[in-house]
Amino acid sequence: MDTLQGRGIVAGVAIGKIMFPVKAWDAYLAQYQQGTVAEETQKYHAAHRQAVQGIADAVVKAKATGSTETATILEAHQSIITDPVLEESILGRINSRASAPLAVRAACEEIAVMFLGLKDPYLRERAADIRDIGSKMASLLLAVPALEFPDEATILCAAEIAPSVVANLPEDKVVGLILGQGSETTHAIIMAKARGLVTIVGLVEGQLDKLTEGTAVILDGIKGEIIVEPTPAEVAHYQALVHERQVLAAENAKTASWPAKTTNGKRIIVAANIGNPLEIEAAVRHGCEGVGLLRTEFIFMGRDSLPSEQEQYEAYAYVVKRCQEHLCVIRTLDIGGDKPLPYLDIPKEENPYLGLRAIRISLQRPDLFLTQVRAILRASAHGNVALMLPMIINQSEILAAKGLINRAKSELLDEGVAVSTYVPVGIMVETPAAAVMAPTLAEECDFFSIGTNDLTQYTLAVDRGNQAVSYLYDHFNPAVLRFIEMTIKAAHARGIWVGLCGEMAGDLQATKLLASMGLDELSMSATAIPMVKEAIRNSDGDEGLARRILRMATAEEVRAILAK
Amino acid sequence: MIEARVVLTNKLGLHARAAALLTTTAAKFVSTVHIQGNNRTANAKSILMVMALGLTAQSELRIAVDGPDEDECLQAITDLIAHKFYEE
């Protein structure tokens, strides 16, 4: 019937019926027995007390389990829920004959809207916290039980969804998620990814309205499509796909932990890209051999002061320990004017991708860099750690960074702090400058990791978020492939290993080409690991394919050869 | 009622942490405290209202205190701001 186009976050297929988790509100509200002003006031106070206690308990629990980040968020919730102006607004509404639950929601909504109008992105995000508190108290007042799911396959659909809801979804009933315009960095989406739940985001405003409770849909996470009220033929087609994937997943699960070798005997390490320490468990389940890219931005974002060395150390050590004997490659802060941090004072830039970001910030702010490096070096005592520098264009940047790394290391040793004796230092090859200069850069590196997302953007001068030109973005463009080839050759000539950690690493169409080009490691999101390993086992690893493809003139020709 | 005009010289302005310190300081006194800035006025005992002013570093603000302990209260708040909310 109708097809809605969004973006697939987890490449799977799901068939089920739409359920709106928030719709239930209206039903509960309709049943609510409103009392006198005095009764409503009393009910509000009781619910408020219970909610305050609930948050206080959660803070204690978070602190006891070492989740300092969660504890900080909860403490902010504590000061919001006890805010006198919020309370005044709620009681005022009850006095004007609003029911307690409506008064709570309306008062919170009014303040949330006020925050949404602020310029500061950090403060704008607080609107979500205020709404969360409003719903918490309102559910207590309405005695809304935890979400109940029907026995058939359900696809949860909402403009926004609380991370705690995603965390508690029953896996046997909820098969997919549709999250309105959700951005990929929200906690809910990070958790959905970690669970491998088929998720579609990025719908255009108004498209969600086309879906109603109970509508049958198919989610195609590969194409990013939502097929509304599918025909029996479509259902049959996708059911076969679901079945096929289940069989494949079961087979892959058996072999996921096995190493991957091409048929001509070349062993390729398959590691995980991780954006949040919590993702490591799922990555290990999917058979990762260590972490090829631990992004550290998570610990710097959504807060208003720099994370301490201790806080960073705990987060990094958590991942390092779970990598066991495998390598954990930790990338230093890769941030810029596109995601400004309130406490970093980076001015708004015309062109943040070409501005003050990543290693450039680290070298201008050695205090910040040294704190992070000290935390990484301390984490190295718990396993195998490598340190990776982002956005390098000059050898001098590597030398400057290594100077600071050595300083941090000798300071720690002087302080008698445990540090691994060998922490390799490498770089992301993600600028054309780094690819061209790879032979020179390799002199100062223990490894390379090719970041194809940025390398493609910078090489082709295409912002893939810009819909007018995103069709030009393609990691199979021969210009990008030649840069990859140059980087691999330079690394091997110097005797260092070279990996690839962009989305290309998880692209099954690319696997046999990457194997043929001689990469030593591929690092990708957890859910892609079992299938890529299988694809490596089915590749012959013969250089002939790479040689042939590197002669091609267009991405279309490359794809045509790979499709054979 | 007494009042004072001050400039926020700390790095982040009335951000979460500074706003929290300001409200807890104001809440220790029985006097009513209002902060005016960005052409709006907020109850200084409400962290939500204080944050919603969106006051950044170098903003000018007016503090008005009214009540039996207004002198000590105004002193405590201007001290806090003068010490840049004890940010490093």
Higher pLDDT, A265 or A144: A265
Q: Which of A48, A77, A187, A382 is catalytic?
A: A187
A119 contacts B52? CB cut-off 8 A: no
Residue A203 pLDDT class (50, 70, 90 cuts): confident
Q: State the fold for domain A27-142.
A: Enzyme I; Chain A, domain 2 (1.10.274)
Mean pLDDT, residues A453-474: 87
Most confident of A248-257, A500-509, A542-551: A542-551
d(CA A342, nearest CA chain B) in Å? 7
Report the C-alpha dihedral over residues A484, A487, A493, A494, rounded to 10 degrees. -150
- How many CB atoms within 10 Å of residue A70? 15
Percent of chain A whose pLDDT exceeds 90: 56
Q: Where are the beta strands (DSSP E) in A211-338?
A: 216-220, 225-228, 260-261, 267-274, 291-294, 327-331
Whether the pLDDT of residue A186 is over 60: the answer is no
Question: Would you say residue B56 has pLDDT above 90?
Answer: no
Q: Given a cut of 90, is residue A221 above it in pLDDT?
A: no
* Strands (DSSP E) found in chain B: 2-7, 32-37, 40-43, 60-66
Task: Give span(s): CATH 3.50.30.10, chain A.
Answer: 2-21+147-248
pLDDT for the residue numbered A447: 98
pTM (two decimals): 0.62
List the domain boundaries for chain B: 2-86
Q: Cβ separation of B16 and A122 shorter than 8 Å?
A: yes
Does residue A75 have a pLDDT over 90?
Answer: no
CATH among 3.40.47.10, 3.20.20.60, 3.30.470.20, 3.40.50.300 for A261-563: 3.20.20.60
ipTM score above 0.95: no
Which fold is adopted by the domain B2-86? Answer: Histidine-containing Protein; Chain: A; (3.30.1340)
Looking at the predicted structure, is the pLDDT value of residue A165 above 70? no
The residue ranking higher by pLDDT, A172 or A332, is A332
* pLDDT > 70 fraction of chain A, expressed in percent and rounded: 93
Contact B17 A84 (CB under 8 A): no
Using a CB-CB cut-off of 8 Å, the residues of chain A touching B87 are 305
Q: Cβ B46–A342 below 8 Å, yes or no?
A: no
> Does residue A185 surpass a pLDDT of 70?
no
**pLDDT averaged over every residue in chain A:** 88
Over residues A395-453, the pLDDT tens digits come to 999 999 999 999 999 999 999 999 998 999 999 999 999 999 999 999 999 999 999 99
Contacts of A193 (CB under 8 A, 6+ apart): A9, A10, A199, A279, A525, A526, A527
B17 at A interface, C-beta within 8 A: yes
What per-residue confidence (pLDDT) applies to A57?
85
| Phi/psi of residue A495, nearest 5 degrees | 80, 25
DSSP H or E run through A175: strand A174-178
Q: Average pLDDT, stretch B37-60?
A: 90
User: Which CATH architecture is the domain A2-21+147-248 placed in?
Assistant: 3-Layer(bba) Sandwich (3.50)
A71-80, A486-495, A514-523: segment of lowest average pLDDT = A71-80
Looking at the predicted structure, is the pLDDT value of residue A68 above 80?
Answer: no
Q: Between β-strands A13-19 and A154-157, what pairing exists: parallel, antiparallel or unpaired? A: parallel
- Minimal Cβ distance to B12: which of A115, A118, A343: A343
Contacts (Cβ under 8 Å, ≥6 apart) of A88:
none
* Per-residue pLDDT, A27: 78
